[in-house]
Structure 1
Amino acid sequence: MVVAMDQRSNVNGDSKDERFDPSAQPPFKIGDIRAAIPKHCWVKSPLRSMSYVARDIFSVVALAVAAVYFDSWFFWPLYWAAQGTLFWAIFVLGHDCGHGSFSDIPLLNTAVGHILHSFILVPYHGWRISHRTHHQNHGHVENDESWVPLPEKLYKNLSHSTRMLRYTVPLPMLAYPLYLWYRSPGKEGSHYNPYSSLFAPSERKLIATSTTCWSIVLATLVYLSFLVGPVTVLKVYGVPYIIFVMWLDAVTYLHHHGHDDKLPWYRGKISRSTLFIRSNND
């Protein structure tokens, strides 16, 4: 059992030390959190969401056209930084589609999510389902999907190459594509394989659809490499993609590890509501 000291304030505003039992139920319910959120925050506007999509796609296309037109080594670094950040923005919109916060129309969420995530070489349903698993088990060392501290035994059994990729700066900043292929150390399966242990049998068609969309985009990039040259594709798409991956890994790492070290990690059986509260607090 993990027990940590937590600094809390009493009703008079005085700070005091209290024993924090991570296995205890939270002193509030999920309904209490929902009730505290203003009603207008629950309204999903497909028109507004699509306006963000249109804005970001227009910006991506305009930047790419400008980069090819100017074709200047003074302009390329500026383009890579800006375009890589826009790729990250595209990912965030697809992320919201996966959560269902983009709109209340499942078909619209799926269609837009596939278009956006496939463009940046992310298998939409594969990532969406594993991300759901992450949110359901966040803070649980054994059941969480990613971004958890490795048990000592597992760490000692890692190969040299895995340790280097995971812990040698700046290589962890480029870990996301490897995670999509191989998942995290100690876990098996792939986000592209319909028969991966990540997915239920009923989800296999969804995974196959997303992998097909991903393959079409990859094949298009290969075709463009023969059509206009691999260097051009690398400059216009490849480098911004790397910048996007760095944004994704950096933001995700800071989001999950840049918090109070008194927050506990769980093992074994633990109340799902406790994990849900922890996940939404993070």
Structure 2
Amino acid sequence: MAKNSEESIAVVEQGIYPVPNVPMKELLGAIPSHCFERSALRSGVYVVWDLAVIFATWKATKAAEVFIDPAYIQLPHPLAYPALRFSLWALYTFITGLFATGIWVLGHECGHQAFSESKTINNTVGWVLHSALGVPYHSWRVSHAKHHASTGHMTQDQVFVPHTRSDLGLPPLREGQEDLLGSRVSDLVQKELYEALGDSPIGAVYGSFLYLVGGWPAYIMWNASGQARYPKGTNHFNPNSPMYQPHHYNQVLISIVGVLIWLACIGVAISNFGFLTVFKTYLVPYLWVNHWLVLITFLQHTDPLLPHYRAAEFTFPRGALATLDRNLLGDLGSVMAWLGSHATNGISETHVLHHVCSKIPHYHAWEASAALKKKLASYNLPMEGNPGSWREVYRVYKECKFVEDEGDVVFFQEREGYCCHAPLVRRRHCLRLGH
């Protein structure tokens, strides 16, 4: 970062984002044809496997808990026994939460009709899997399809829509003291923005934590981080919500029935087995699922490297490529990286491909993703982000504060107003920088 001492304006050296003009036909043509094949039997095997791992983890935890007793092991202090039991069940909830996220991903594939060739099988299996995790299947399926149709669109995308400068009540852009690209910011503007947006480390950690724990139910119930043009009270349980068309009415009701059955099952389980048993066996893993869902999807769509588009420059391919692949838990070493990708069926590692074609099942996504990246290598697009982790959520939470109210291709600016990228828009033989 350079500083102009006469005007007290700091200048940041920006990277150039080459806004792509790639026809969908070329993107899809780069993917081997067999990757588009869907098999209910093969997909079903992954459902059985994920459930089997969860069941085996539960049985192993129950068996191991028996031996945490003075009759079997001698520990240095009486409190060491409950502490060890707590650690054992904490490990259970972590592993179960990861593989239950894999179940969530398979239900999500049903919503994209990627589970099988049959729409009936897809929607039946998807309703069962998602209802078992408290997800209103059809309600979310419809809004999620709109997200895929308009990924990165400032007024049409459904979730992870950036706040604009005016949304946050920030001072308007000051001509001469800052520019639209976020490459030049005066000391005065930096101070004003920092005072309005600056997070202390503790505040950023707390904000990130609340987002990870409560972000999913808040989106489903109150449209938190969703499309701002929807009226207050928009949610996924109202058949008359502006997210839906009249023909979705019964589908939303069916989704509500699934969630009510889920709540009833939890109530019956608590009545029969006690709250503590249900809490540690199901409810804590359920919270882990919500946590992983928000962490994965937030990091796929939010980063200083990624553009957002207004209508004049948006196309479906541009939106599909405005996302990142991240190796879940990759910052913890190769074993944890394997566990993260295996347990969650690769949803974080092959996400760009998933936006290019959401009907490709996860077991073909690895090969299809490699072929797509080979095709796009010459475009110099950011496609691989840092590993998905709590540390990365903290970084992105601090660096992605707002976008400008003007401009058809915009990037996140951080708390002092700087932006790390500028768009290069190519049209035929014309080049326009900072459009």
TM-score range, shorter chain: 0.7 to 0.9
**Counterpart for residue 411 of structure 2:** none
Task: Give a deviation string over 1:3-32, Cα, whole Å, max 9, x none.
Answer: x8626xxxxxxxxxxxx5x5xxx4331111
1:274, CA displacement in angstroms? 4.6
2:316 aligned with 1:273: yes
CA separation in 1, counterparts of 2:132 and 2:261?
Answer: 10
Letter in 2 for 1:184: A
Following TM superposition, the consecutive aligned residue runs of length 4 or more in structure 1 with deviations greater than 6 angstroms are: 164-167
Q: Larger Rg: 1 or 2?
A: 2
**Counterpart for residue 179 of structure 1:** 219
**Counterpart for residue 291 of structure 2:** 246
- Structure 2, unaligned runs of 5 or more: 1-13, 66-84, 171-202, 323-354, 357-382, 384-435
Whether the aligned pair in 1 keeps the contact of 2:154 and 2:309 (CA below 8 Å) is yes
**Counterpart for residue 190 of structure 1:** 235
**Counterpart for residue 88 of structure 1:** 101
2:249 aligned with 1:236: no
CA separation in 2, counterparts of 1:272 and 1:184?
Answer: 25
* Aligned pair partner of 1:211 in 232, 236, 256: 256
CA separation in 2, counterparts of 1:115 and 1:30?
Answer: 33
* TM-score using structure 1 length: 0.82
* Aligned pair partner of 2:16 in 6, 12, 18: 6
Distance change >3 Å, CA 249–CA 271, structure 1 → 2 = closer
1:40, CA displacement in angstroms? 1.4
2:180 aligned with 1:170: no
CA separation in 2, counterparts of 1:220 and 1:165?
Answer: 37
Task: Give a deviation string over 1:81-105, Cα, whole Å, max 9, x none.
Answer: 1011111111110111111111111
For the aligned residue pairs, the C-alpha RMSD in angstroms reads: 2.6
- Whichever structure has more helix as a proportion of its residues is 1
CA separation in 1, counterparts of 2:57 and 2:15?
Answer: 50
1:75, CA displacement in angstroms? 1.8
**Counterpart for residue 29 of structure 1:** 23
Percent of aligned pairs with the same amino acid: 31
Whether the aligned pair in 2 keeps the contact of 1:49 and 1:103 (CA below 8 Å) is yes
* TM-score using structure 2 length: 0.54
Whether the aligned pair in 2 keeps the contact of 1:166 and 1:172 (CA below 8 Å) is no
- Structure 1, unaligned runs of 5 or more: 8-19, 158-163
1:195, CA displacement in angstroms? 1.5
1:211, CA displacement in angstroms? 1.1
1:268, CA displacement in angstroms? 3.8
1:47, CA displacement in angstroms? 1.1
CA separation in 2, counterparts of 1:27 and 1:224?
Answer: 54
